[in-house]
Structures are given as C-alpha cells and as structure tokens.
Amino acid sequence: MSVKIATWFERMKGTYWLIPALMVTSSILLSFITVHLDRTGPPGLLARLGWIAVEDPDGGRAFLSVVAGSMISTTGITFSITIASLVSASSQLGPRVLNNFLRDRGNQLVLGTLTATYTFCLFVLKSINSTPGEVFVPNLSITISIVLTIFSLAALVYFFHHISTSLQADYVIAQIGEELTRAIEHLFPEKMRYRSLQQKLLREEDLPEYLSDEGGQKIKSSSSGYLQALDVDTLVVIAEENELLMRTELRPGEFTAEENTLLTIWPSKEIPQELKKRMEGSFILGDQRLRIQDVEYHLNQLIEIALRALSTGINDPLTAMSCVDQISAALSQLMERSIPTGYNYNSNEKLRLITKPLTFTDIIEKSFNQIRRNGADSVSVTVRLLEGIELIAPHIRTGEQKTTLIRQADILLRQSKEKIRDKYDKEIIQKQHQKTLNMLTG
C-alpha cells in the first residue's frame, strides 16, 4: 500500500461519520432487497409464523413509525452523551485525547446501528400500501426491523457501559500505552541482537565531502503544516532516476512553515518544476499530526495527560504516575529495537537518500523532560520517574541509551535537592536514585 493511500485511510479512521454513513447506506440497500423479496417471494410465507406476521397495513405502518421515532430520539440522546463525554475528556485529559474518542469503533458502531435502524424503517414504511385491491405489507422487512430493533437495544446497553468505562483516566492511559507499544513494534520491527550493536553506514565513503556544504539545491515547502508521512520509496526512485543524493530536513511529526526547506539535493543543479512538485508531493503535510509514521504521537498524549494532572488546578499525581508507568513500559520495548539511522540505499547499494534521524536520546528526553520539570516538587512523581528508569535499565542495548538515562537520573536527584525541603523525602529519593544507578551500571 502506498504512503498516500495509507495516510488517507489513517485520516478516515479519525472521522466519526464514516462507519455510521456506511451502515446507513447498507440499511437502505437492505430495505430495497427485503421489500423486493416481499413483493416477489411466495405469498403468505411469513403468515405461517403466527405473531410475527402483520396482515394489517395500518398495524405495520404504526409499528415502523414507533420504531423509527424511537431510534431517532435515542440517536439524539446518545449523540448528546457523546458530546458531553468529549467535553469532559478534553477538560480533564487534554484536547489531544479527543481523537481517541472519535476513532472509537464502539461509539461509531452504536451510532451506526441506531441510524441504520431508523433509515431501514423509514424506507420500508414508504413501501406499505393500504389501497383496496393493492394491499401490500412487507412482512419480511418488518421482521428484519424487529431484529434491528433488538440489536439497537443491545447497542444502547453497550454504549452506556462503554462510555462510562472509556472516561476513566486509568483506562484511557492504558489504551494509549498499548497503542504506543504497537506503534513502536510497527515502526521499529527489527530487534537488536547484541549490546555492542551500533548502526553505521554500509561504507564510510558513501558520504561525499560536499554533504557538509550549504550549496545543495533546496526544495521549499509551498504550504505550512505537520509532516504526517514521508514517502521514502518515491524519493529514492526519484534520486536514482536523476542521479541525485537527497537529504530531508524534516521528519514525521515536525512542523514546517511555507518556504521552509523540505529537501536538500546534491549535486546542486536546476531542477525542473514538474520534478520539484513530485519531490514535494512525497512530503504529506496536514493541519495535525498522524500516528502512521510518528512514534511521538501517542507519547505526546501521555505527556499531556501527565502535565495536566500535575497542574495546580488538578493536582493529581497518581494520574501522572500512571502515565510514567506506561511511558516506561513502552520505552523498555523501544530500547531493544533498532531505530533506522536514515541512510537509504537503492538496489545497487548506492546511497540515495538521507532522512532526518530519530535518536534514542531524542525520545528519552522527550519522554521525561517535561514531566520531570513540572513534577519537580512532587516526591511521588520524582520517585516514580526514577523507578521508570530502573524498569528500562535491563533493556538497554547501547552506550547512548545508558548515558542518556544516567543523565536523567542525575538531573532528577539534583532537582530534588533544589525543590524538596524535607530531609526524609530527600533520603527516599536518594535511595531510589542509588538503586536506579546500580541497575544502569550493573
């Protein structure tokens, strides 16, 4: 699947209307099929089923009217509850969590079931004919509407249970943590086998001397936005076709402004406008970040929840500690995985594209810095951060990882000496710091 198509699908997953719209469309088609079967099927087939059959057109019309009216009223109630839940989640957990609620398949299926039942009843209702001599009661369609009504009641019960569960902070944090772990497994599938493993170029001479010069041809952005995805394969093909070496100046998740550099090209030469558009088209920009190639997407959600929990107005260190637990668990998985250094070769093992790399140091500092600063005066949060580093320690594979984690632990200790006054609390932090260092250096 191409990057552009995958990005489009990712955007569609974040829309609340897609699944309900598909279900409504399916219900309309189903109504046409069942009404057609009612017209062409054996007469009186469902009449043998006794109480299920409806012989009176007015009775069938009344039943479908009641079901349709009930469904549209219930849809309004569930939609109102959903909006109230989104407002509550936004204020308590942060606006970036809203996308998780919009992507929730359970809520989408409930809305789709209710609206599909309403639409089905509406279209079947239109087919009932009470004209003398042309009486038509679609018994099969009415039976299907009964089944859909039962499904709608079950969906409503599920909705009330699901919405009450999905608003709990621990549940939301755990879900984001699971998605972060899955993102790490998807984006970095290759595991490191040895502690001494260090990613390098295939050959040192692959990096030409002119790469450090500022004279390369610059490809500018024609719009502002976040880099949602980067089509690496297309850029490598373009570079190979035109005998170029490219370097991206942006990685997925970063923001760029109009006329900022997206790509630097060597050797510096005049690039046709059509080729420039093709190169720029490999950078998929949007007004918000997407999780498709951005491992920091879910990380930012956990960080935002933790920062809100540590704010003066909320002051909920337990929620922040839960976020630290999930971040630490995800980083434990990441430490064992090989992060691409950004050197992309063609089939002939010739370097064609250098992408802006994401390092372990970047991710570790991103994970801990903001929470550490905002939780500096909280003993429990400081201790939990040290415990998180201790949890990660057995999974370390490189010297870079160890050095960065030791630096974070030392900063936590120094910060606690400056911010925390109680001697007993300082001793607790110092003991945990020593325990963490023993794990890191042992």
Question: Strand, coil or helix: what is 252?
Answer: coil
Kindly state the average pLDDT of the residues 211-219.
73
* Residue the block writes with tokens 């005049």: 270
Nearest Cα neighbor of 333 from 308, 375, 306, 367 is 367
Give the residue ranges of DSSP H helices in 94-195.
98-102, 105-127, 139-166, 169-187
pLDDT number for residue 9:
86
Instruction: Please tell me the predicted confidence (pLDDT) of residue 200.
Output: 46
Question: What tokens appear for 211 in the block?
Answer: 């790469």
pLDDT band for position 212 (50/70/90)?
A: low
pLDDT computed for residue 216 by the predictor = 80
The predicted-structure confidence for 163-189, as pLDDT tens digits, reads as follows 988 888 899 999 999 999 999 998 888
Q: With pLDDT > 70 as the criterion, what percentage of the chain qualifies?
A: 91
Q: How confident is the model at residue 341 (pLDDT cuts 50, 70, 90)?
A: confident
- Rounded Cα distance between 140 and 142, Å, is 5
Taking the C-alpha atoms of residue 364 and residue 435, their distance in angstroms, rounded to an integer, is: 19
* Per-residue confidence (pLDDT) for residue 207, from 0 to 100: 62
- Find the mean pLDDT for residues 382-408: 94
Least confident of 44-53, 102-111, 354-363: 44-53
Q: Is residue 408 pLDDT above 80, yes or no? A: yes
pLDDT at 82 (0 to 100): 85
pLDDT at residue number 192: 64
Q: Which H helix or E strand runs over 334?
A: helix 317-335
Q: What is the DSSP letter of 51?
A: G
Averaged over 318-342, what is the pLDDT? 92
Average pLDDT over residues 257-261: 93
Q: Quick one: pLDDT at residue 235?
A: 93
Q: What is the mean pLDDT of residues 340-348?
A: 81
Residue 201, pLDDT > 70, answer no
| pLDDT tier for residue 197 given thresholds of 50, 70 and 90 | very low
Q: Across the chain, what does the average pLDDT equal?
A: 87
Give me the mean pLDDT over the 59-68 stretch. Answer: 90
The pLDDT value recorded for residue 86 is 84
pLDDT of residue 196: 36
Lowest mean pLDDT among 5-14, 342-351, 388-397: 342-351
pLDDT at 71 over 60: yes
- For the chain, the distance separating the N- and C-terminal CA atoms, rounded to the nearest angstrom, is 45
* Domain locations along the chain: 3-167, 294-338+359-441
Confidence band (pLDDT; 50, 70, 90) for 199? very low
Predicted TM-score (pTM) of this structure: 0.86
Helices (H), 14-104: 18-40, 57-93, 98-102
Confidence of residue 214 (pLDDT cuts 50, 70, 90): low
pLDDT computed for residue 195 by the predictor? 39
Residue 104's H or E segment, with its range, is: none
- Give the mean pLDDT of 336-363: 86
Q: What is the pLDDT of residues 219-239, one digit of tens each?
A: 999 999 999 999 999 999 999
Tens of pLDDT along 281-325? 999 999 999 989 999 999 999 999 999 999 888 889 999 999 999
